């Protein structure tokens, strides 16, 4: 299995599975070392104050079992830093290594998954895992395809956040639609004011209640729902990204589309742009005399033009599919017997991924932005673009 790293200068590499450690529960191995998730973050500058408590604040946003809209699986998601940070909790410039042990790997749930191991679970990756990895594919709790893998991303994103904080860049994500119930327009200010004020993290507080009530009804049916997460990156300087294959929008798309539940992405007005005329969608420049620089009257392109950030806020939306594990009987195939059958899968699941995926989106956007920012600063350090006049327009 390859493709477990993301980024070029600021780079994360993750390892671990949903029930990693389930088969290493034996005397002589400390419980916290049975298995779990590992993330190595390379390209971290020296002199960054990093503690497990700072990382934990981000991990707690996606930790399971916190509300009625979460899986009942109880994982502490406690993070331990084991390299790259030394005296006074300061980064040394070496790779930062972190581990998040799996603790809720009880035999009862292991056996539940064992009883389903030969069935193709509708909507899940075990079908393609069978095809790619054969009989040795990880069948336990979706393995590497599990949403549990994203905890490592959030830990890496927490370090990216510390770097972006120094640069005055803020990234925030929130729910704007659930099961067709859509929030009103959300400004950056409203998103900040109402951040995490409800279980589904929707800044439109009235609509959030409708979303939650609807999800609880769907949960009673044993079914699940999808929705849309919006992400705003504010304070991103102009100049990030490259014009051709490494457009900032392409890098951000790679980051976000690598999240298992994300099935579509749009920037700015996105698909709506395809229904308009050029005269209706062009972001018109205007001289802001107060700031003595060029701004745009509108931001329909979502802060990126020609693959390069233009200094306006970057606005992205991603479509999140319903949780594929549902508590309803479904048609499937027994791959061992090679016959059609029906199964009701009785394993733990989230009725919606929305309440726990937004910190993953924040993390991946932060990682992509830090990587782009470090490349941009390296380019500037060469002194090629040293004309202050053009820098400041």
pLDDT tens readout for residues 63-94: 877 778 777 667 778 999 999 999 999 999 99
Sorted by where each starts, the structural domains of the chain and their CATH numbers stand as 5-268+303-391 (3.60.150.10)
Task: Calculate the alpha carbon distances from 386 to 308, 382, 389 in Å.
Answer: 18, 9, 9
| Chain CA centroid to CA 117, Å | 28
How large a percentage of the chain has pLDDT more than 70?
96
Higher pLDDT, 322 or 141: 322
- Give the angle subtended at the CA of 88 by the CAs of 82 and 91, to the nearest 5°: 55
pLDDT tens readout for residues 286-335: 998 888 888 899 999 999 999 999 999 999 999 999 998 888 899 999 98
Q: How confident is the model at residue 19 (pLDDT cuts 50, 70, 90)?
A: confident
Residues 328-357, mean pLDDT to the nearest whole number:
90
pLDDT of residue 392: 60
pLDDT tens readout for residues 119-135: 988 988 888 988 898 88
pLDDT of residue 389: 54
Residues 149-176, mean pLDDT to the nearest whole number:
97
Q: How confident is the model at residue 106 (pLDDT cuts 50, 70, 90)?
A: confident
For every residue of 96-157, DSSP letters joined together read EEEEEE-----HHHHHHHHHTTTBPPTTSTHHHHHHHHGGGS--STTGGGSGGGHHHHHHHH
Q: Residue 242 above 70 pLDDT? A: yes
pLDDT of residue 116: 86
Taking all residues of the chain, what is their mean pLDDT, rounded to a whole number? 92
Residues 89-118, mean pLDDT to the nearest whole number:
90
Q: How confident is the model at residue 165 (pLDDT cuts 50, 70, 90)?
A: very high
Task: Name residue, tokens 């932060």.
Answer: 366
Question: What is the rounded distance in angstroms from the CA atom of residue 188 to the CA atom of residue 171?
Answer: 10
Backbone φ and ψ for 233, nearest 5 degrees, come out as -115, 115
Q: How confident is the model at residue 51 (pLDDT cuts 50, 70, 90)?
A: very high
Higher pLDDT, 387 or 97: 97
Question: What is the rounded distance in angstroms from the CA atom of residue 212 to the CA atom of residue 14?
Answer: 32
pLDDT of residue 27: 81
pTM: 0.93
Q: Residue 390 above 70 pLDDT? A: no
Q: How confident is the model at residue 160 (pLDDT cuts 50, 70, 90)?
A: very high
DSSP letter assigned to residue 30: -
Under a CB-based contact definition with an 8 Å cutoff, are residues 320 and 353 in contact?
Answer: yes
Q: Which residues contact 63 (CB under 8 A, 6 or more apart)?
A: 75, 76, 77, 356
């Amino acid at each position: 299995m390859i493709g477990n790293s993301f980024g070029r200068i600021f780079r994360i590499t993750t390892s671990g599975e949903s029930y990693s450690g389930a088969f290493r529960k034996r005397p002589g191995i400390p419980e916290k070392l049975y298995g779990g998730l590992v993330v190595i973050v390379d390209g971290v500058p020296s002199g960054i104050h990093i503690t497990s408590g700072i990382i934990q604040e981000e991990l707690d946003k996606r930790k399971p079992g916190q509300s009625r809209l979460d899986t009942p699986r109880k994982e502490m998601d406690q993070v331990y830093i084991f390299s790259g940070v030394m005296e006074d909790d300061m980064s040394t410039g070496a790779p930062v290594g972190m581990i998040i042990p799996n603790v809720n790997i009880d035999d009862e749930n292991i056996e539940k998954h064992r009883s389903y191991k030969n069935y193709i679970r509708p909507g899940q990756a075990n079908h393609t895992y069978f095809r790619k990895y054969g009989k040795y594919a990880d069948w336990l709790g979706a393995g590497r395809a599990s949403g549990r893998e994203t905890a490592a991303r959030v830990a890496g994103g927490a370090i990216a956040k510390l770097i972006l904080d120094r640069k005055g860049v803020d990234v925030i994500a929130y729910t704007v639609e659930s099961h067709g119930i859509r929030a009103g327009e959300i400004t950056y200010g409203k998103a900040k004011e109402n951040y995490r004020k409800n279980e589904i993290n929707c800044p439109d507080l009235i609509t959030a209640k409708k979303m939650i009530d609807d999800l609880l009804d769907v949960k009673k049916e044993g079914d699940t729902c999808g929705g849309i997460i919006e992400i705003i990156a504010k304070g991103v300087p102009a100049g990030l990204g490259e014009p051709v294959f490494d457009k900032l929008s392409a890098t951000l798309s790679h980051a976000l589309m690598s999240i298992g539940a994300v099935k579509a992405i749009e920037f700015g007005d996105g698909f709506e742009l395809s229904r308009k005329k050029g005269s209706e969608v062009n972001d018109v420049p205007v001289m802001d005399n107060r700031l003595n620089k060029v701004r745009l009257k509108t931001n329909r392109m979502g802060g990126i033009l020609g693959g390069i950030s233009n200094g306006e806020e970057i606005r992205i939306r991603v479509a999140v599919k319903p949780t594929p594990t549902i508590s309803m009987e479904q048609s499937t195939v027994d791959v061992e017997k090679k016959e059609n059958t029906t199964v009701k899968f009785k394993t733990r699941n989230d009725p919606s991924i929305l309440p726990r995926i937004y910190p993953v989106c924040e993390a991946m956007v932060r990682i992509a932005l830090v990587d782009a920012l470090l490349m941009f600063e390296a380019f500037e350090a060469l002194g090629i673009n040293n004309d202050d006049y053009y820098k400041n327009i």
